[in-house]
Structure 1
Amino acid sequence: MEVGYSRKEIISLGSGNKVSQCFDENGEEYSHSEVITSWRKYYKELISRNDGEIGLRLPQFGALSAIRAHWATSSAPATVVLPTGTGKSETMFATIISEQIGSTLIIVPSNLLREQIFEGASHFGVLPKVGMISEGIIHPTTFLYKAKFKDEQILMKTIESSNIIVSTPGMIKSMKTEILEQLLKKIEVVILDEAHHLGAPDWQAVRDKFSERKILQFTATPFRNDGKKISGKIIFNYGLGLAQSAGYFKKIDFYPIQEFDENKSDEEIANVAVEYLRIDLDDGYNHVVLARANSTKRADELFEQIYSKYAEFNPVVIHSKIKAAERRENLKKVKSGEAKIVVCVDMFGEGIDIPSLKIAAIHDKYKSLPITLQFIGRFARTSGENLGDAKLVTNVAMDDLREAVEELYHQDSDWNKLLSIHSSQSIESEVNFGEFIESFEKIHANEIDLSQLKMKVSTRMFRYHSTDVLLDNWKKVLNPERTTFLINNKSSVYIFIEEIESRVVWSDHCTV
């Protein structure tokens, strides 16, 4: 097949839904086979191994290779860990086109990220710019699913014709049964972007629905927001230390203040952050201050009482309680550089590509190390011109933080070293734990989440000196019909869970 002409249109489907689609010279839609054939013909893999070379960065190529290796032997869910700023989105797009995946569902956590991924996926991001895609390509039919359709037949037709569907968990979960069944039949691969959200019920519900499909989970940290582990084998882990050594992250300068008066703390953080903004602007750097609050109410208070005073920097506030039109306008001001100060909650925590965010004024700290690592990583990215080193301003005098996070906020903390150390340690521990879980025999291991088994204070432990294990003897002590057994011969770990019913004095029913 020769493709001599391809015209791309973005078609509005109402209520914010839209589709990006290519047509031939006669205005006809391309067939599924024509699209995939063009990917096979006009995609060329390039790798940037040395300065001056263009193509996939080494972490992107490494992740792509790991995905191929995993799919050669398994269809089980897999997790790819790439620090913020190393090119996660392009890794997704390169996977889709190089593996010729005809139908992909990409799940993202927010509307801002949904719009951004839709825009990138519709033309495979920067892959054409680096010469990996030539002009004959037929770009994927990409569907942004944002709101319910009045005419469900249009929705079903759009799903059927789409190569890539970008949406949020809530939208997929709220689909009617017949539409969801069509989507289940259609989709080959599900990509969960920012997979640390898997602790949320909607995310887990979508993952469970598509459990028979290939699932790729991308994240900068393999921990859920609730602190629990992300299920799914980590097949590729590009550490923060490697990213810093490779130059994907700029230096992080830490400017702690010590203010014990809570009423003065916010004012002092803002004063220091704005002072460094002025210095950076005078030095020719196109920087923006992001002031982080832990709630929409706090964000409004910080904006109205403190940051609105800095009118020369056109400050804006962005959070979920603000009308969508105002959010879009304020975001546009930040991206264009018109607004040099933005007050927000978590709107910029993940996926939003604004390289000029270089000064973080943290009024309320994250208490989770993984989320802290991800948040700060957004400021240390090297992409963009006229950008200097990242700066972090916060009050270290008052806070009740977990040990690992607390160490970051010591007066003399070197964030460049500590971020790498803590990131590597936490992810290495997760990888080791995942290998330990994988060592259990599969009889019952898939039915029980072993990562959630915790020893309580009442646990009794005994030392066993013999090297011989009479494994079947447990049946003499426990009821085999009511006992689940989990065996890990490699680590000599054996878990037995017996169901026991007992009556309680205040009910006629039994508890298990």
Structure 2
Amino acid sequence: MNLNYFIESMPNIDSNQSLREPQVDAYRAVYKHFVNDKKKEHSIIVLPTGVGKTGLMGILPFGISFGRVLIVTPQLVIKDAVLDSLDPEHPRNFWLARNIFEKYEDLPSVIEYDRKTSDWELQEANIVILNIQKLQERLDSSLINRVPSNFFDVIIIDEAHHSTAPTWETSMEFFSDAKVIKLTGTPFRTDGEKIEGEFVYKYPLSKAMAKGFVKSLERIHYIPDQIFLTLNKKDDTVYSLEQIRDMNLKDEDWVTKSIAYSKECSIKVVEESIKILEEKRKTGIPHKIIAVACSIWHAEQIQELYEQQGLDVSLVHSKLKKDELAVRLKSIENHKVQVVIHVAKLGEGYDHKYLSIAAIFRPFRSQLPYEQFVGRVLRSIDAEEVVSPEDNIACVVHHKELGLDKLWEFYKNEKKKSDVIKYLDRSEESFERLTKARVEKQTGDVIEDGIGITEKDIFIGTELLEERERRINEEHQKLNQLKELLPNLPDETLRQMIRREEEGEPSAKILRPDKFLYRKKRDLDDRIKKEMVPEIILQYNISNEGNELSNSKLFTGKYSWLLKRVQSNTGLIAAYIEKRVNDLVGNHDRNTWKPEEYDAAKQHAEDVFILIQKILDSELKKE
């Protein structure tokens, strides 16, 4: 086995049209981190569901690894999905399907590690794939007990927000000299702490939606006319939901769990999800429902409700034996069922693009598991396969009183950002011209009265609004630290120091000056149009296509002429930043800009962004 394989190979990455923008940009960011900047700190990539995380794992080692690569997954389902995509013997493996290589003989050698893996197999592998349990030090068959600490030069950790258990920490200590790359859809671990390492690349989900990398999303929740509950199974006295809340008879956890276990409430969600499925299946695409339940017993009750309606169901849970699990997963892949019900099994990492309806029969207490479940229906169906736009619109269905409104709010905000990005993309030419708690186990019976209605929210949203808050908090923390060291400098100067530090030093050698300038321009455009403008629209709750900003003092004096050329709030903000940045650089023709002018423009954009916030703070009296 050639230990220099990843250095000597010639993969097609940089200008590969078959790769997605976030895959190539994330690869460049990791390359800069380890190769150009020679950093030792773990690198972290935040990439939303459906954008191409497994493919990214397939290209990350090239030019970075001076030896073997270990890919670690948190569970078997994810491990199997990664292995399927990166199996060099499969005719549609990622490297051939995406034109990374043209010949089989150019592909890396890949093995799945288990206790039967021989020493010869380990020595011959370029890439070793395993799930974290195979690194448990207490097991004689553990990989840690089989290889020296320098056996791997690069370790890629999938779903890195799980890396909290002792096994993860022990493994990282053992392979302490390896370059560690962590991939995740969230910047926080499952225990709420920040993931250890440096965030080298983040791709916002709103941008993924605007690019069409994930399905559109709508929510339909059933709202009963009236709802009554007993306080326990032994007392037939019924109370309205309003009475229970007003009299503080039970807390919201009890209410939502009672709703979840109520057969009467579940039937409504079952019927609504089937109605949506039947409509979607008219196109001939084998759309499916994926449902989530509170427990295995609860899932069996939901299964019975679907089967009574004539649908075939595959119930997948953690207690199934390996062979039975494989049979049920195959029935999903081969379209033998219309409904998939899971309990703690088909979470993150399970990809089946025909899952299009997410039926929720349990309350979620936190954002992360909710997002992971909704993420199962977001993987888009290939453009050449879809018959109707409806094929790439996913639905989330649940009972109104499951208490999920706050979690869904995140998707509303992502939708707003996505709308702003798409609006600006549609207006690109005109802008170019302008700029040159404890859960109670006992539940009560639930009785609904009246017909009830369903209510629909249509959005193209998905995860990671929390990232914006995290970034603000992180900058605030750094600012406080700098204030202690440099108490006499103003806050704005300190913020600029923080941002310059985050940008880092440029590469010593520019191999493609043409692409270098193109990337500088694209990065500036993205920062303005895909981050700053959406954040302002969201932060101040401004109508995307309204014109209330026409009265702002931003557009008086020198920039009043913009009001004659641009009609919408979004367009005005984008045009103002673009025009003002060009004025500050002193050159309106970006085609003639040099690297230092793009660097200056990026800093000017940050200053203008802060100025806009200050002006809108005073005008809109935002607290």
Q: Which amino acid aligns with 1:374?
A: Q
Change (3 A) 1:395 1:60: same
Is residue 2:99 matched to residue 1:56?
A: no
CA separation of 1:468 and 1:57: change in aligned 2, threshold 3 A: closer
Residue 238 of structure 1 deviates from its aligned partner by 0.4
**1:172 and 2:171 correspond:** no
Kindly indicate whether the alpha-carbon contact (under 8 Å) linking 1:316 and 1:342 is maintained by their aligned counterparts in 2.
Answer: yes
Which shows bigger deviation, 205-214 or 251-260? 205-214
SS in 1 for 2:119: helix
Say whether the 8 Å CA contact 2:381–2:392 is kept in structure 1: no
The amino acid that maps onto 2:305 is I
Q: Are residues 1:281 and 2:249 paired?
A: no
CA pair 409-70 structure 1, distance change in 2 beyond 3 A? closer
Contact 2:54–2:82 (Cα < 8 Å) also in 1:
yes
Say if 1:368 and 1:402, in contact at 8 Å, map to a contact too.
no
Contact 2:155 2:180 in 1 (8 A): yes
Larger mean Cα displacement after TM superposition, 287-296 or 59-68: 287-296
Q: For the Cα contact (< 8 Å) 2:318–2:344, is it kept in 1? A: no
CA deviation string 1:241-271 (max 9, x = no partner): 1001111122212111124463212111111
Counterpart CA distance in 1 for 2:136 and 2:479 is: 33
**Distance in 2 (alpha carbons) for counterparts of 1:379 and 1:388:** 10
**1:139-193 deviation digits (Å, cap 9, x = unpaired):** 32222124x34xxxx6433323221111122211244489537242201111110
Question: Could you tell me how far 1:347 is from its partner in structure 2?
Answer: 2.5
| 8 Å contact kept, 1:285–1:388 | no
Cα 1:179/1:309, change in 2 over 3 Å: same
1:40 aligns with 2:5: no
Q: How many residues align?
A: 403
What residue identity is the alignment partner of 1:308? E
Aligned 1:83-98 pairs, distance under 5 A: 83-98=48-63
* Shift in alpha-carbon separation, 1:315–1:47, aligned structure 2, 3 A: farther
Q: What SS does the aligned partner of 1:104 have?
A: strand
Whole-Å separation in 2 of the counterparts to 1:273 and 1:295: 20
Residues 4-403 of structure 1 mapped to structure 2, 5 A cutoff: 31-33=1-3, 35-36=5-6, 40-41=9-10, 43-45=11-13, 47=15, 54-71=17-34, 72-73=36-37, 74-123=39-88, 125-135=93-103, 137-146=105-114, 148-149=115-116, 155-174=118-137, 175-176=139-140, 179-180=144-145, 182-259=147-224, 260=227, 262=259, 263=262, 264-303=264-303, 305-311=304-310, 313-384=311-382, 385-386=385-386, 387-399=391-403, 403=406
CA RMSD of aligned residues (A): 3.3
Distance 1:293 1:34 in 2: 49
* Structure 1 residues 115 and 136: CA distance shift in structure 2, 3 A: closer
Q: Which amino acid aligns with 1:110?
A: Q
Distance 2:66 2:343 in 1: 36
> 2:469 pairs with 399, 416, 429, which one?
429
State the alpha-carbon separation in 1 of the partners of residues 405 and 275 from structure 2: 30
How far 1:404 sits from its partner (Å)? 4.8
1:99 partner SS: coil
Deviation at 1:406, TM superposition (A): 6.2
When residues 241 and 181 of structure 1 are mapped into structure 2, their CA distance, relative to the original with a 3 A threshold, is same
Structure 1 residues 435, 105: closer, same or farther in 2, change over 3 A? Answer: farther
Q: Residue type matched to 1:40 in 2? A: S
1:130 deviates by 2.8
Label 1:441 to 1:391 Cα distance change in 2 as closer, same or farther (>3 A).
closer
Deviation at 1:131, TM superposition (A): 2.1
Aligned AA (1:318): V
Per-residue deviation, residues 108-157 of structure 1 (Å, max 9, x unmatched): 122122122122223294231232202163432222124x34xxxx6433
Q: Is contact 1:78-1:234 (8 Å) kept?
A: yes
Unaligned runs of 5+ in 2: 229-258, 414-453, 490-494, 499-623
SS of the residue corresponding to residue 182 of structure 1 reads: coil
Deviation at 1:467, TM superposition (A): 5.2
Distance 1:403 1:391, change over 3 A: closer
Shift of 1:212: 2.9
- Per the TM alignment, residue 104 of structure 1 is displaced from its structure 2 partner at its CA by 1.1
Matches of 1:345 and 1:299 in 2, distance apart? 7
Deviation at 1:396, TM superposition (A): 1.7
Tell me, yes or no, if the aligned pair for 2:218 and 2:456 is still in contact at 8 Å. Answer: no
Q: Which amino acid aligns with 1:254?
A: R
Distance 1:227 1:415 in 2: 30
3-state SS of 2:60 partner: helix
> Are the counterparts in 1 of residues 348 and 372 from structure 2 also a CA contact under 8 Å?
yes
Which SS does the other structure have where 1:347 is aligned? coil
Between the aligned partners of 1:239 and 1:326, the Cα distance in structure 2 is: 38
**3-state DSSP of counterpart to 1:188:** strand
Higher percent of residues as helix: 2
Query: Which AA in structure 2 matches 1:430?
Result: R
Structure 1: 5+ residue stretches without partners: 1-30, 49-53, 443-463, 470-487, 492-512
Find the residue that maps to 2:183 and give its secondary structure.
Answer: strand
TM-score between the two structures when normalised by the length of structure 2: 0.59
Q: Which amino acid aligns with 2:286?
A: N
Relative distance call for 1:103 and 1:392 in structure 2 (3 A) is: same
Return the offset for 1:59: 0.8
Distance 2:19 2:102 in 1: 15
Whole-Å separation in 2 of the counterparts to 1:210 and 1:179: 9
CA distance in structure 2 between the aligned counterparts of 1:270 and 1:402, rounded to whole angstroms? 19
Higher deviation after alignment, 260-269 or 229-238? 260-269
The alpha-carbon distance between structure 1 residues 242 and 136, as it changes in their structure 2 partners (threshold 3 A), is same
Cα 1:405–1:267 change in 2 (3 A) is same
- Aligned-residue offset at 1:201: 3.5
Q: Distance in 1 between matches of 2:178 and 2:405?
A: 38
**Partner AA of 2:308 in structure 1:** K
Asked if structure 2 preserves the Cα contact closer than 8 Å seen for 1:349 and 1:375, the reply is: yes
Q: 1:406 to 1:246 in 2, by over 3 A?
A: closer
- With over 3 angstroms needed to count, the CA separation of the structure-2 counterparts of 1:294 and 1:35, relative to structure 1, is same
Distance in 1 between the 2:472 and 2:96 partners? Answer: 38
Deviation at 1:362? Answer: 0.8
Alignment partners' CA distance in 2, 1:334 and 1:240: 27
Q: Is the Cα contact below 8 Å between 2:6 and 2:63 reproduced in 1?
A: no
Pair 430,155 (structure 1): closer, same or farther in 2 beyond 3 Å: farther
- Name the amino acid aligned to 1:426: E
CA contact (8 A) 1:104 1:188 kept: yes
The 3 A distance-change label for structure 1 pair 320 and 185 is same
